Structure 1
Amino acid sequence: MEMSVRARIRAGDPDTFGSLFDDYARAVYNHAFRLTGDWSTAEDVLSLTFLEAWRLRETVDPDGGSLRPWLLGIATNTARNTRRAARRHEAAVSRLPRAEALPDFAEGLVSRIDDAAQVAALRAALSLLRRPEREVVALCVWSGLDYATAAQALGIPVGTVRSRLSRARKKLHKYAGTGLPAENGNSHPGRGQAEGDRIPAVRRTQEETR
């Protein structure tokens, strides 16, 4: 009998793990960018997520469907740890003598400006939320996970996801007017909605719908 993808991942099959990266790297990268608002940091989170996924491969449930929620859960924790490390680094740098500012001659950023500006505006609104609320918005609204799958990704009860997302919606509607879809009893937030009702996704691709 042929082994399932999950069984091959658990067994550490490198070809299967390579295919996993090909299938979900863009979805993980987009999720990381939405959480961090920085292209370079998102690239770091992407790399660290798959390193951590390899380390945790034996914890994959043998039964189940897509491994995307599992990867997004790892990416969420990785982004969280990366932010902590960045804050420690910034605190250390702030104690150093200031160096003379040099002009930035970086090229090739034009195609990123619009997306970065859009996400910066959204992150400004999301800064009103507590970190756990931002994470459920990223998973349920941006990445389209249902409550149960988001709960599995974050390792928390389904009811906690519901309450966090409900609080997030109320805060964003009150303070930012972001256009998050209101609660309507749908157990699959982010699905079956008109495109205009969603927070715009950055670099949305077919991989994210898997």
Structure 2
Amino acid sequence: MTGETIAMPVPWTARAPGALDAEGFEELFGRCFGEIHTYVAQRLGPDHAEDIVAETFFTAFRKRAQYDPSRASVRAWLYGIATNLIGKHRRLEARTLRALGRFGPEADSPGHEDSVAVRVSAQSLRPELASALAELDRRDRDVLLLVALAGLTHEEIATALGIPYGTVGSRLNRARKKLRARLGEVRVHG
């Protein structure tokens, strides 16, 4: 993620809870699909992203009456749903990261489209970083990757994951310390 954010039109923030109608939801899908897909692909790889993103938007559509714009931006709400679904696939994510740690990203990609997909996926991670991420507690990894890949603020992460603001900071701090220590070991021993 390049740090750009999705600017939602004013009506999204002005609507009352539960006001995400079918037409508005179609607009939401069009605006946010690519960003959520990129995030999921970076976490689980492109092969699994389509299913998880489809499930994210299906869940959001089913729960649209529960969406409360006073609690979170629609973007943070979608990232929270996606992260929870990724959590259900935590073994897949950890297995993918460990495999990338052993073998690294694929060496060649036949076409431009494939090279773009590899660049935005978990496969583009350096092997050392992938291994270090795999060793993190899932909750710490979620917070770290919501900051690093999605560019969410601490407040947005707290709302998206349903955790206290201070917990976001402590999980992020813990994850960063573990990564620094692990990556420092790799540099010394590698």
TM-score by length of 1: 0.64
Per the alignment, residue 40 of structure 2 pairs with 32
Aligned equivalents of 1:83 and 1:66: distance in 2?
Answer: 25
Give yes or no for contact 2:36–2:79 (8 Å, CA) kept in 1. Answer: yes
Residues 149-177 of structure 1 show CA distances to partners (whole Å, capped at 9, x for unaligned) of: 10000000111111110000101111115
Aligned to 2:25: 17
Tell me if 1:112 matches 2:117: yes
Give the equivalent residue in structure 1 for 2:66. Answer: 59
Identify the range of structure 1 (54-63 vs 112-121) with the bigger mean alpha-carbon deviation.
112-121
Q: 1:9 to 1:123 in 2, by over 3 A?
A: farther
**Displacement of 1:66 after TM fit?**
3.3
Partner of 1:4: 11
Structure 2 match to 1:144 = 151
Structure 2 residue runs without a partner (length 5+):
1-9, 94-108, 185-190
Greater per-residue helix proportion: 2
| Equivalent residues of 2:71, 2:159 under 8 A apart | no
The change in CA–CA distance for 1:59 and 1:82 in structure 2 (over 3 A counts) is same
Q: Retained in 2: the 8 A contact 1:32–1:75?
A: yes
Distance 1:123 1:34 in 2: 11
Residue 10 of structure 1 aligns to which amino acid in structure 2?
G
Partner AA of 2:148 in structure 1:
V
Counterpart position of 1:161: 168
Tell me the equivalent position of 1:82: 89
Corresponding residue of 2:49: 42
Larger radius of gyration: 1
User: What is the rounded CA distance, in whole Å, between the counterparts of 2:69 and 2:120 in structure 1?
Assistant: 38
Task: Kindly provide the CA deviation profile for residues 129-166 of structure 1, in whole angstroms up to 9, marking residues without a partner as x.
Answer: 11001100111222111111100000001111111100
- The total of aligned residue pairs comes to 155
Alignment partner of 1:176: what SS?
helix
State the AA in 2 paired with 1:74. I
CA contact (8 A) 1:9 1:17 kept: no
Aligned-CA RMSD value:
2.7
Q: Which amino acid aligns with 2:63?
A: L
Measure the CA separation in 2 of the matches of 1:30 and 1:113: 11
% of aligned pairs identical? 36
Q: What stretches of structure 1 of length at least 5 have no aligned partner?
A: 88-105, 178-210
Q: Which residue of 2 aligns with 1:187?
A: none
User: 1:82 Cα deviation (Å)?
Assistant: 3.4
Quick one: distance in 2 between partners of 1:5 and 1:76? Answer: 22
